[in-house]
Amino acid sequence: MLKIGNVEAPNKVVLAPMAGVCNPAFRLIAKEFGTGLVCAEMVSDKAIVHGNARSMEMLYVDDREKPLSLQIFGGDTETLVQAARIVDQHTNADIIDINMGCPVPKITKCDAGARWLLQPDKIEAMIATVVAAVSKPVTVKMRIGWDSEHIYAVENAKAVERGGGSAVSVHGRTREQLYTGKADWDIIREVKQALSIPVIGNGDVVTPEDAKRMLDQTGVDGVMIGRGALGNPWMLYRTVQYLANGELPPEPSAEEKIRIAILHMDRLIALKGEHVAVKEMRKHMAWYLKGMTGAARVKDIIMETEKRDEMVRTLDAYVEQLATSSLSGTAEESAVLH
């Protein structure tokens, strides 16, 4: 179990708040696959304060996703507080998360995201002001530092704790690394040892075994899975099971992968309409198909597809073709054996 403030998640597995991915369509699948806590993609504090229609839609929470954390980003305490109040009073999210990890220049140029990591002295005051303004638990997602010269992970995390934050998620890379190189789990361990609030570890967790190793090596209270879950919600389910009983459920069949991919698309269509959703699903479909036999040609077709039914026909034909070739392969094998 993972307890953040007054919010209890049934297990230690957390879905990372990935931009362009963690909308209700994918989050609900993650929840159905057993994930303890799901995090929504980040939303701009200014966009929330100004009532931007698209951003307000991003605050939608399906009750079936709970417990859920909604993430906001911004570089100005005043607007962060205003946005946090709106999330607190007008959404049924359980946790308000503040982004201090996004490495993208258009975010850091506004003093938001990872830019906070250079200002340990400002973090405590900002968190304290947000915490005082809302009733939901406030958490922070951060990186270990800005670059290899500026790693203030322990200092920054302690500032969050002193400000009244209820938990910290730490991605073991600097802003400079983006998503390259190796995540530094030793620094995550140092943060965990320095804090009394829950710490969630993030970075290089792509298998259930990685999740177990991170928990064992760092002592963190939860493990956050990001890119390892792209097109692969089974990774979340298999991790929950592996951590619970040491058993690894089998990988999904091609048919099961495609079934969930189509469910994902249909939920996205219900949210955003066919035109937008099918285009957005192209990248997801490429992730679902990753590593599958002969998938390259199917991906090429999918990248041009604009209609839901066309996409389904292409995927169904591909699954059928896989089944046929494996049957003929089995027949050939038995002919050789006999």
User: Catalytic amino acids?
Assistant: 102
Contacts of 205 (CB under 8 A, 6+ apart): 211, 214, 223, 224, 225, 226, 228
Kindly report the three-state secondary structure assignment for every residue of 10-71: CCCEEECCCCCCCCHHHHHHHHHCCCCEEECCCEEHHHHHCCCHHHHHCCCCCHHHCCEEEE
Distance in angstroms (rounded) separating the CA atoms of residues 274 and 307:
7
- Under a CB-based contact definition with an 8 Å cutoff, are residues 31 and 274 in contact? no
- Under a CB-based contact definition with an 8 Å cutoff, are residues 161 and 112 in contact? no
DSSP H or E run through 199: strand 199-202
- Under a CB-based contact definition with an 8 Å cutoff, are residues 99 and 71 in contact? yes
Contacts of 276 (CB under 8 A, 6+ apart): none
